[in-house]
Amino acid sequence: MDRTNATRKRSVRGRRFLGVFLKSGLFFGLLFGLLGGGLTAMLLSAFLSSRGIPLLPLWMLIPLMVIATGAPMGLLMAVADATMTRSTPEDRLDPSGAVRQRITLEVPLPPEAALEAVSRIVFEELGWAIEKRETGHLTLRTPASFRSFGEQVMVDLHPTPDGSAVLLYSRPLSFLVTVDYNKNRENVLRFRELLLERLGRVQRDGPSDEE
């Protein structure tokens, strides 16, 4: 059993390391490689042309720059993520390292009551800012921390035959973020746990059928 658990842990962390490496490497490689490679190719082309030197296939600089910048940046981000999430249990990690997280749960309350429970969690437990409140919807913002500049959390509630479906969605404030050190995953999991705990208190403190 211990060997099976150890293998599963290595698998989760290995998949996450590879996922962060590939995503970060591709993003930064394309961002800096295309800009740097394209600019270098243009400067070299102008320099060589002014001296009558035959032009080389300068377009080859672009993929070389993509690899030269993407590989080290991807490795740096993957190592940083692995270090920051070392103490996080594997069942709370997203194996792919995705920075956008979504989770849905069913609650035995109508949307209005569920929205009130969600609002109380935000005020009393989390301290997140409410940016927008509409019927069946909340847009929240988490404070900045040493792991991120903050996230946007959206809560949507839809009526179901037995109560409400609550959709929690958390993403970084900036689209440039490729590594969140599991922050968005923790946002939705903590929100879900607090909501279920709140609903348990509501059910216990609610009206009883006992005489």
Structural domains present in the chain: 2-91 (no CATH), 98-205 (3.30.530.20)
- pLDDT at residue number 107: 87
Q: How far is CA 106 from CA 157, 180, 195, 198, 209, in A?
A: 10, 27, 11, 14, 24
- pLDDT at residue number 204: 42
- pLDDT at residue number 206: 42
Q: Long-range contact list for 37-42, CB < 8 A, 24+ apart?
A: 37/61, 37/62, 37/63, 37/64, 37/65, 37/66, 38/62, 40/65
Alpha-carbon span 190 to 195, nearest angstrom: 8
- pLDDT at residue number 210: 39
pLDDT per residue, tens digit, the chain (211 aa), is 577 777 888 899 999 999 999 999 988 888 877 776 666 666 666 666 666 666 555 566 667 777 888 899 999 999 999 999 999 999 899 999 999 999 998 888 888 888 888 888 888 888 888 898 888 888 999 988 888 889 999 999 999 998 889 999 999 998 889 999 999 999 999 999 998 888 775 544 444 333 3
From first CA to last CA, the distance across the chain in angstroms is 50
Where would I find the H helices in 51-149?
61-84, 111-121
DSSP state of 206: S
Cβ neighbors of 71 (< 8 A, separation 6 or more) are 25, 29
Q: What is the dihedral of CA 83, 86, 87, 88, to 10 degrees?
A: 110
- pLDDT at residue number 3: 72
